[in-house]
Structure 1
């Protein structure tokens, strides 16, 4: 059950940086500066390239570690949260004695131990996969394949289609089954049709990777890599692009399950659903033509090829939990070839991250006890209300929106709710059987638990208190179905939120992030949902046309930015995040100005508050990135590269030009006619 693939929530930040202190009392030595002036590159000009000016010094001092594909505020805090803080929590639990069976402590300690028990993993070889391989080998028809694929979906093995459970976009109070396209190993259809040399090389390495995995597994299939690439290439041509998938109206096709079956009659969807314990008479289909064309493709494809593809998906899904040679080859292709990561993390670090991946909420409960001061929750609440107030003022001043639509925008803004730090109620994970010497079975048990949890939601009321992220996650999100913004404890640390920093730095950091999340409620996707979280038009036709003209100009602007030679930013894919960045900066700037009540603070380190505000924004996104990761991001990620998240919105802000006294001919300045101001 691939719930995440069908979420309507547009997650706002890929990751970020920070660190709440264990003790409330801090010494001068432990205080994190608001902005470290050694991060600057004084040879660059702020008005020509603000990222290099603000972060050039930092970039020179912080090369990408071999274990990473990109390195910045994001990765630094993520590493601190997981490889230091969670590691300490896990190892303390692991050393304790007499852990009660079924307790969170027992599950955490035993899963961690099972991941570290490489001797058992090596000894068992591919034996854990045998029951699944036997079922694949026994497939003789498309109906057989549907049954086997459905069973394997329960443990996360992909196939050409998938189910997910979310709130109904047009009735957000009730959960419903969604169906969507799936099954591309390279993640996005552009990888299958681009003709540039780097993408062609990736496809060649993909073929070699599959061939090697099959050889190591002892499989005797002829040319498995090329066969699978050829099949996935045909599959990719049938799928919607990642830009087309952004349209919630186009991808909302509610129908009876019986009618859904008729769209793809030769791949038995009833059997596919039954094997996943899915019971429903109604669902929402992502793309009808895809299913009809998929049916033709499956009928025209030899059953031997489909079995080969299914075997590959099984092997790929569990490669990280198999003997070292499979794990390393999986890393070589997906991490090194695809993203430029040179070195795999150590087994202990990976054990921590794997434990966090499967038992993140139980770990989160322990994390916030130790590292999230409650006073920060109150402070962030105040910040959110400040942003809400300023957003309302910005709506009132809009010249392109009518009064009737403004009234509804205010209604939606007022209805915004928020979650801070961690859930009020923790889920019960005690039914998951975890043993210290059965890594594969532990992964299966956790996967089945998650699948069962999703399936049981179908037709039931949406739990508005549920969190889509763990507390230790360095991220934040807006969920349009709940009309809520969510800030896990993991992000509420420097440089986003630094209790020791001046207001200008914090407003350029956490307040801009809060404003970013609020703006998601009014971006190209979020603006299509009303105050109750339903996909419903609340705009006049002329106001929507005005909004679309503004966003089209911003799409064209970002589409003109080349991230790497031959790889331009996809403005249509990144428009939601780009609009949210522009809105977040605008809201934060005016919230900061309002907070001074006409009494401006003294400069710090030679920078006035306006300049420090933008320095705060820049340090949030400072990052070094491999070329491979950058190419992958441009093709698959709705977020623009870090450099362009910093520099991209600034030429549209007169406030930036004034702060740095930029002349009209500066590279970071646009003429008024070219500036885009939305919110």
Structure 2
């Protein structure tokens, strides 16, 4: 998922479903142009990255990427680096050109997107003004917290902070009703932590203890800069409060359970659950009165949070909210705030050596606030109709292959197969960019007010989401901008979405051989399709409704297979003392394995009766797997990797290659893997889901 504002804010975390991190093709019943063409295609894989000292039968990931892993350097301003980051850098550079061209224009009509793009960027780059203002931009908001006289005023204050993107102990957002997907409904979710996950508070790991100590220092620093009389005492009280919240937070594995997190309640029922907090006033203050009910994601957390709010002294609550506001505002304020923020959130949490250059942070700010406005120009310059057409054909091929794969499943009954086919037939596909661009006319941008610009942007986006209530489902909406290097599946929309920026090498290379492209972007397409049938996506039907369409025997067979996959990944340990969480990453691992399996099937169908050539000594089957492996090359700093293992539902890149191919008989055949090889798994231990 990306880090743009839509996804960064705590209230938007439930907005998207599962996400990831071509040559010319026709429908799978026909031959692809490249299979028939006489002009030879390029390999599409950079062999300079190979490590010839490693056998592909032992460690395929390092065979394909080993020299790159030994020689590449993680940039000082990054916690990780690899194919995705390289493309994101490319996208970022393209956006910089666009934004700076717009900003440099002499005449920009007030209220236009051009004026807003240029003025927002200039407000971020005006460091002289930012330095001179110091804490002043946030003063009114800090005074609003300081003026709190009674806990009975918390609903309105929490609503104000939520609209401004400032975390509170819980958050309300609006999305499709998971059990009635033709309407929008309000969800409430646990929130309020300043560390990346509850485990950062509760685990006794030595490095996490150091992180907590650094966090305490960071809280104290911001509180001192904010004018707190006893910053050390305030920091201890804030950390203690967050620790108490963390103890009641559901862990990430439990939060993946879509049935457990769907608890429909009326507003009155929710107020009985939390008698100390007025949900009716909170909902009114947010403008969400049209909601048909409330889906409470973690009911016992809300009971605990209500009790904790009641028992926490009002001065401590005010200190906590003050810190939340300062933490959110720090990157927009003067140097002392900015440096304190980077020292903890960059250096400590991710191991970064340097803060990102100012222009990169300015581009991120513009993209977060006006992403589709900038994206429209990006698409005009960087995405051709031909690329979209090729991608559409490839997606069709993958869908046909998935359909055939369902029919061929030996473990699934005809009745359940029919249900799966019905769901697949209702998939919606979005490629490149939205058909309808977002309207930013209601957003005011002032060249002299960076803090206000970002606050208004948060409020604009929150209002856009709240205003869905009572309206028909907007099926044209996108959850990512076109310039995002990623892809996603939405279970309530039952759609797969591929932004323009991911459709370039090494994912999609128009000059490369079909086999390589099927292994790369084909695997990505298959991954997103498979999310509709992973352990959580498979709980929804083709209309996006959360319901059980599985026969009991089929469900047991599915769970047996996915349980084996979970156990496999739990055995991977990329960092001393830490392993991949097979239950947390299960959905993404199913997406990888099933996605690559169906991509291989689609490639073979695309050949028809044509025989693919050998290119640079590699057969087409070998090129298919090479295409997949080079996509996932990545380097990680230890702290960034630790955070990924604790919080990210995606496995590290190494296992997105080695963890997948060892389960595929096609890989064994392509590279002659035999018993005793590092990639070998006995047939009875190999997993095939879809």
TM-score category (smaller protein): over 0.9
Residue 270 of structure 2 is aligned to residue 237 of structure 1: no
| 1:4 aligned partner | 12
| 1:677 aligned partner | 688
Residue 263 of structure 2 is aligned to residue 253 of structure 1: yes
| 1:266 aligned partner | 276
TM-score, length-normalised on structure 1? 0.96
Residue 459 of structure 2 is aligned to residue 448 of structure 1: yes
* SS of residue in 1 equivalent to 2:197: coil
Residue 152 of structure 2 is aligned to residue 179 of structure 1: no
Correspondence list, 1:259-658, <5 A: 259-279=269-289, 280=291, 282-658=293-669
Alpha-carbon contact 1:477-1:487 (below 8 Å) kept: yes
Deviations 1:332-355 (A, max 9, x none): 111111111111111112111211
Deviations 1:169-207 (A, max 9, x none): 111111111111001111211111111111111111100
| 2:45 aligned partner | 35
Deviations 1:125-157 (A, max 9, x none): 111211111121122322123321221111101
Give the direction of change, closer, same or farther, for the CA distance of 1:596–1:535 in structure 2 (3 Å limit): same
Alpha-carbon contact 1:516-1:584 (below 8 Å) kept: yes
Residue 226 of structure 2 is aligned to residue 217 of structure 1: yes
Range with bigger deviation, 275-284 or 623-632: 275-284
| 1:107 aligned partner | 116
Equivalent-residue separation in structure 1 for 2:516 and 2:338 (angstroms):
42
Equivalent-residue separation in structure 2 for 1:2 and 1:429 (angstroms):
22
Alpha-carbon contact 1:3-1:454 (below 8 Å) kept: no
Equivalent-residue separation in structure 2 for 1:201 and 1:642 (angstroms):
27
Equivalent-residue separation in structure 1 for 2:128 and 2:43 (angstroms):
46
Q: CA RMSD in A?
A: 1.4
| 2:84 aligned partner | 74
Alpha-carbon contact 1:142-1:268 (below 8 Å) kept: no
Alpha-carbon contact 1:32-1:494 (below 8 Å) kept: no
Which of residues 123, 145, 156 in structure 1 aligns to 2:165?
A: 156
Equivalent-residue separation in structure 1 for 2:12 and 2:459 (angstroms):
15
Residue 132 of structure 2 is aligned to residue 133 of structure 1: no
Range with bigger deviation, 559-568 or 598-607: 598-607
Equivalent-residue separation in structure 1 for 2:95 and 2:235 (angstroms):
39
Alpha-carbon contact 1:558-1:571 (below 8 Å) kept: yes
Give the direction of change, closer, same or farther, for the CA distance of 1:3–1:419 in structure 2 (3 Å limit): farther
Alpha-carbon contact 1:179-1:285 (below 8 Å) kept: yes
What is the CA-CA distance between 1:3 and the residue it aligns to? 4.3
Equivalent-residue separation in structure 2 for 1:599 and 1:39 (angstroms):
30
Deviations 1:22-66 (A, max 9, x none): xxxxxxxxx996111101000111111111110011222321010
Alpha-carbon contact 2:168-2:191 (below 8 Å) kept: yes
What is the CA-CA distance between 1:575 and the residue it aligns to? 0.2
Equivalent-residue separation in structure 1 for 2:97 and 2:47 (angstroms):
32
Alpha-carbon contact 1:48-1:668 (below 8 Å) kept: yes
Give the direction of change, closer, same or farther, for the CA distance of 1:281–1:40 in structure 2 (3 Å limit): closer
Range with bigger deviation, 633-642 or 138-147: 138-147
Equivalent-residue separation in structure 2 for 1:87 and 1:128 (angstroms):
26
Equivalent-residue separation in structure 1 for 2:615 and 2:150 (angstroms):
72
Give the number of aligned pairs. Answer: 661
Deviations 1:481-535 (A, max 9, x none): 1111000001111111100100111011000000000000000111000011100
Name stretches of at least 5 consecutive residues in structure 1 with no aligned partner. Answer: 15-30
Range with bigger deviation, 464-473 or 422-431: 422-431
What is the CA-CA distance between 1:8 and the residue it aligns to? 5.3
Equivalent-residue separation in structure 2 for 1:291 and 1:444 (angstroms):
27
What is the CA-CA distance between 1:444 and the residue it aligns to? 1.5
Give the direction of change, closer, same or farther, for the CA distance of 1:87–1:348 in structure 2 (3 Å limit): same
What is the CA-CA distance between 1:270 and the residue it aligns to? 2.5
* SS of residue in 2 equivalent to 1:294: helix
| 1:98 aligned partner | 107
Range with bigger deviation, 661-670 or 574-583: 661-670
* SS of residue in 2 equivalent to 1:10: coil
Deviations 1:450-469 (A, max 9, x none): 11111111132210110000
* SS of residue in 2 equivalent to 1:100: coil
Give the direction of change, closer, same or farther, for the CA distance of 1:226–1:564 in structure 2 (3 Å limit): same
Equivalent-residue separation in structure 2 for 1:200 and 1:605 (angstroms):
51
What is the CA-CA distance between 1:274 and the residue it aligns to? 2.5
Alpha-carbon contact 1:8-1:481 (below 8 Å) kept: no
* SS of residue in 1 equivalent to 2:662: helix
Equivalent-residue separation in structure 2 for 1:282 and 1:105 (angstroms):
40
Name stretches of at least 5 consecutive residues in structure 2 with no aligned partner. Answer: 1-8, 22-40
What is the CA-CA distance between 1:358 and the residue it aligns to? 1.1
Alpha-carbon contact 1:166-1:178 (below 8 Å) kept: yes
Alpha-carbon contact 2:10-2:191 (below 8 Å) kept: no
Range with bigger deviation, 307-316 or 217-226: 217-226
Residue 98 of structure 2 is aligned to residue 89 of structure 1: yes
* SS of residue in 2 equivalent to 1:571: coil
TM-score, length-normalised on structure 2? 0.94
Alpha-carbon contact 2:196-2:647 (below 8 Å) kept: yes
| 1:49 aligned partner | 59
* SS of residue in 2 equivalent to 1:249: coil
Equivalent-residue separation in structure 2 for 1:4 and 1:512 (angstroms):
28
Equivalent-residue separation in structure 1 for 2:420 and 2:98 (angstroms):
44
Equivalent-residue separation in structure 1 for 2:348 and 2:267 (angstroms):
41
Alpha-carbon contact 2:87-2:485 (below 8 Å) kept: yes
Tell me which stretches of 4 or more aligned residues in structure 1 moved more than 6 Å.
Answer: none
Equivalent-residue separation in structure 2 for 1:6 and 1:590 (angstroms):
33
Give the direction of change, closer, same or farther, for the CA distance of 1:281–1:503 in structure 2 (3 Å limit): closer
What is the CA-CA distance between 1:568 and the residue it aligns to? 0.6
* SS of residue in 2 equivalent to 1:457: coil
